[in-house]
Amino acid sequence: MGIITKKTLEDLEFKEVLKSIATNCQSEKGKEMVENLFPFSNKPDLENALNQVHEYQGALVAENRIPNHYFDDIEKEIKLLRIENSKLLPEAFLKIANLSNTANELLLYFQKFRDYYPTLSLLAEPVEYTKTIVDEIFKIITNYGEVHNKASELLNQIRKRLTEVRSQISSSFNSELAKYNKAGFLDDIRESIIENQPVLAVQALHRRKVKGSILGTSKTGSIVFIAPQSTLNYHRQLQELLLEEKQEIDRILRILTNAIRPFTPLINQYLHLLIVLDVIKAKAQYAKEINGVKPDFSSSQEIDYKEAYHPILLEKNKAQNLEVVPQSLSLSKEQQIIVISGPNAGGKSITLKTIGLLQVMIQSGILIPVHETSKTHFFDHILTDIGDNQSIENQLSTYSYRLKNMRGFLKKCTENTLFLIDEFGTGSDPELGGALAEIFLEEFYHRGAFGVITTHYTNLKVLADELDHVVNANMAFDSKTLEPLFTLLIGQPGSSFTFEVAQKNGIPFSLINRAKKKIDKSKVRFDKTISKLQQERTNLQRNTQQMEQHSSKAKEHADLLAEKEAKIQEKLESFQTLYDKNQRTLSIGRKVNELLNKYFQTNNKKEFRFEFDKWVLIEKTKYDQAHPKVKKQNLKK
């Protein structure tokens, strides 16, 4: 069972990845689910989740795309449905109907394209397809979120009467308006609306001449707003009918709520299906943005990440049009632990975080930016000790905190553990802390755990060289310019370039020499040797690249020459054919000319015809020999 702690996720900035995925969600519930994603505790569930994302990723570019599954959050409505004698409003029923329609469309789609999306189809398989919910709702509720006139006979009658009364109010008011306007009692604005009923805008000096109820006055008091008496009678009827309509609608909605209530578990299933699909789609879109793939899970314990990118760095650099250098890193029983050394700002920590974050992502069902031939493994524990871990809350120093962390490592570390430690052994006296770090490293090694550590400690570099399945590595560094190349090189420890970096940053050479005298000469020689080896390796790599480039150019040149030779040969053959044809034509011309001259001299037609037929026969014989006839085969029916 895989257990990955919250601390590990914080160390690797896993939340940043989740924030990027959440921006692709259509629903708030989907975003909430993404932000609470956690690594899977078992491999079968993880494989299923990865296959779902992989299938959806294919659907994003396929012709038969998965239908849109946007939905309104109806959790409040579901809670109300669970309460007896509750009542849903028309807009709530519309939300439920739209959700049901969307879910039903998806159920039919996955049933039809089961072969294309086998894992996603399994997700939809337990959910029941039914049109009953939608049909029941739309018998009562219109597409505009209102109750149908024919939802009940009584409601239909009430609304007919309402139409009549509103017509009577309008007719009555218009009549009064015309009468008093003609009498000159009204202000220029003539009419207004107060308390949802029409009123006459009467000049204050004529207010006693207009029958009705005063409902208000203007700010200056020059206008009095009066509802005509005849209109008031109809308005009272209108209010009574509106109350009856409200009571009838309330009764109908309660009946409809009771009819839908038994479907509450199914509606909840629809909601859950759409939320899960929203999360899967968000993961697939994120994978598309970072060129994420699903690496194979190896049956043996190994990680083989080729051309791996740190996803957060990749997104940031892409936004700024900056290049990101990919890393290739392998862990196996033969290469169980990698010890990366070298100067700061060379990319050690990023390399460490890259493998950790990618492993956490893939174990959380998120596709990762690596080459498609990469392999990985499901680890029960991923343990990290990264960054400055001084704990103010617990009043622990950095070293005390790290020792407490190592105690946790020792409790959990097994052969199915991946551990990642940045600046291993720091925080205490270099010799004493380094010695303790050696013991920890040996213990992790003998337990069979996989790991990557970064360090400046010489004794750990030496230990890595002595243990069979532990290897040294360094980040490529240009020793001349002291610029990092951000490429991991396996097989050799890295120099810290301490004095070289100090010199580059303007520290006087005399002070650097005094510093060298204060330390053990063997350490200086050892670091210098590593630095020299690193420089030679960089030079060798540069020469290899140049040779490969020269070889590539030579091949291109050879291919170009071969192409030119083929074209020249083709032209020669064409010229030869043309030459032979011209020679043949000249030969025929000469023979005909010879026969004609002989005929002109002798004037003997018989001899001329004989010689001509003889020459034609000879030429035909030559042609038949050069072009033998192919015997025709009788075709059988």
Identify whether 279 is part of a domain. yes
For the chain, the first-to-last Cα distance in angstroms comes to 72
CATH of the domain at 145: 1.10.1420.10
Name the domain boundary from 290, 308, 329: 290
What mean pLDDT is predicted for residues 596-610?
80
CA nearest neighbour of 454 among 382, 348, 530:
348
Domain count, the chain: 2
Higher per-residue pLDDT: 594 or 467: 467
Claim to verify: residue 373 and residue 281 sit in the same structural domain: no
What mean pLDDT is predicted for residues 399-418?
86
Identify whether 631 is part of a domain. no
CA distance 239 to 197: 11
**Is residue 432's pLDDT more than 90?**
no
**Is residue 493's pLDDT more than 50?**
yes
Identify whether 181 is part of a domain. no
What mean pLDDT is predicted for residues 475-496?
72
What mean pLDDT is predicted for residues 389-415?
73
Least confident of 156-165, 331-340, 498-507: 498-507
Q: Using 50, 70 and 90 to split pLDDT, how confident is the model at 491?
A: confident
Cβ atoms within 10 Å, residue 471: 21
Do 210 and 185 touch, CB atoms closer than 8 A? Answer: yes
Name the domain boundary from 441, 463, 492: 492
> Any residues with CB less than 8 A from the CB of 341 and at least 6 apart, and which?
348, 454, 455, 456, 460, 461, 472, 473, 474, 493, 494, 495, 496
Percent of the chain with pLDDT over 70: 87
> Any residues with CB less than 8 A from the CB of 283 and at least 6 apart, and which?
21, 24, 34, 53, 56, 365, 366, 367
Q: Which amino acid is at 389?
A: N
User: 83, exposed or middle or buried, with CB in 10 Å at 0-12, 13-18, 19+?
Assistant: exposed
CA distance 548 to 554: 10
Name the strands in the sheet holding 375-376, side by side, starting at the edge strand that comes first in the sequence: 296-297, 375-376, 303-308, 327-331
**Is residue 579's pLDDT more than 90?**
no
What was the pLDDT predicted at 535? Answer: 63
What was the pLDDT predicted at 395? Answer: 47
What mean pLDDT is predicted for residues 22-41?
94
**Is residue 231's pLDDT more than 60?**
yes
Least confident of 17-31, 57-71, 344-358, 496-510: 496-510
pLDDT one-digit tens code per residue, 253-265: 999 999 999 999 9
DSSP conformation letters of 81-109: HTSTT----HHHHHHHHHHHHHHHHHHHH
What was the pLDDT predicted at 497? Answer: 59
Claim to verify: residue 269 and residue 362 sit in the same structural domain: no
CA distance 225 to 207: 9
pLDDT one-digit tens code per residue, 295-333: 999 888 899 999 999 999 999 998 898 888 899 999 999
Q: Which tokens sit at 477?
A: 């560094």
Claim to verify: residue 300 and residue 286 sit in the same structural domain: no
pLDDT one-digit tens code per residue, 172-197: 888 888 888 888 888 888 888 887 88
What was the pLDDT predicted at 430? Answer: 65
pLDDT one-digit tens code per residue, 609-618: 877 787 788 8
What was the pLDDT predicted at 106? Answer: 95
What was the pLDDT predicted at 393? Answer: 46
Claim to verify: residue 357 and residue 446 sit in the same structural domain: yes
Do 96 and 72 touch, CB atoms closer than 8 A? Answer: no
Claim to verify: residue 29 and residue 107 sit in the same structural domain: yes
CA distance 383 to 362: 16
Claim to verify: residue 273 and residue 315 sit in the same structural domain: no
Buried b (16+ CB within 10 A) or exposed e, 45-81: ebbebbbbbbbbbebeeeeeebeebebbbbeebbebb
Angle, vertex CA 497, rays to CA 494 and CA 499, nearest 5: 155
What was the pLDDT predicted at 391? Answer: 47
Question: Residues, the chain, total?
Answer: 637
Identify whether 209 is part of a domain. no
Identify whether 55 is part of a domain. yes
CATH of the domain at 326: 3.40.50.300
> Any residues with CB less than 8 A from the CB of 200 and at least 6 apart, and which?
176, 177, 180, 186, 190, 191, 210, 212, 225, 226, 227, 228
Name the domain boundary from 447, 474, 492: 492
What was the pLDDT predicted at 14? Answer: 95
CA distance 171 to 179: 12
pTM: 0.73
Identify whether 513 is part of a domain. no
Least confident of 117-126, 133-142, 566-575: 566-575
Highest mean pLDDT among 25-39, 391-405, 494-508: 25-39
Do 3 and 408 touch, CB atoms closer than 8 A? Answer: no
Cβ atoms within 10 Å, residue 156: 14
CA nearest neighbour of 152 among 252, 71, 63:
252
Q: Which amino acid is at 192?
A: S
DSSP-based three-state secondary structure for 454: strand
Q: Which amino acid is at 423?
A: E
- Alpha-carbon dihedral angle through residues 539, 540, 544, 550, given to the nearest 10 degrees: 50
Give kind and range of the element (H or E) at residue 414.
none
Q: DSSP state, 630? A: P
Q: Using 50, 70 and 90 to split pLDDT, how confident is the model at 386?
A: confident
What was the pLDDT predicted at 494? Answer: 60
- Maximum Cα–Cα distance across the chain: 148
What was the pLDDT predicted at 101? Answer: 95
CA nearest neighbour of 407 among 396, 303, 416:
396
Q: How many CA atoms lie within 13 A of 14 on its CB side?
A: 28
What was the pLDDT predicted at 479? Answer: 62
CA nearest neighbour of 393 among 404, 401, 385, 405:
401
Q: How many CA atoms lie within 13 A of 517 on its CB side?
A: 6
Q: Which tokens sit at 80?
A: 């109300």
What was the pLDDT predicted at 522? Answer: 47
Claim to verify: residue 348 and residue 415 sit in the same structural domain: yes
Claim to verify: residue 266 and residue 368 sit in the same structural domain: no
What was the pLDDT predicted at 592? Answer: 81
**Is residue 160's pLDDT more than 80?**
yes
Claim to verify: residue 311 and residue 282 sit in the same structural domain: no
What was the pLDDT predicted at 94? Answer: 95
Claim to verify: residue 308 and residue 440 sit in the same structural domain: yes
What was the pLDDT predicted at 428? Answer: 62
Least confident of 65-79, 358-372, 570-584: 570-584
Q: What are the angstrom distances between the C-alpha of 313 and each of 10, 321, 329, 354?
A: 16, 12, 18, 9
What was the pLDDT predicted at 215? Answer: 84
Q: Using 50, 70 and 90 to split pLDDT, how confident is the model at 534?
A: low
**Is residue 272's pLDDT more than 80?**
yes
Higher per-residue pLDDT: 344 or 219: 219
**Is residue 104's pLDDT more than 90?**
yes
pLDDT one-digit tens code per residue, 535-545: 666 667 667 77
Claim to verify: residue 274 and residue 355 sit in the same structural domain: no
Least confident of 147-151, 206-210, 626-630: 626-630
| Residue span of the structural domain in which 446 resides | 296-492
Identify whether 582 is part of a domain. no
Identify whether 178 is part of a domain. no
Claim to verify: residue 276 and residue 381 sit in the same structural domain: no
Least confident of 206-210, 262-266, 301-305, 524-528: 524-528
What mean pLDDT is predicted for residues 516-524?
57
Name the strands in the sheet holding 381-385, side by side, starting at the edge strand that comes first in the sequence: 381-385, 417-421, 450-454, 337-341, 470-478, 483-490
Q: Which tokens sit at 22?
A: 């959440």
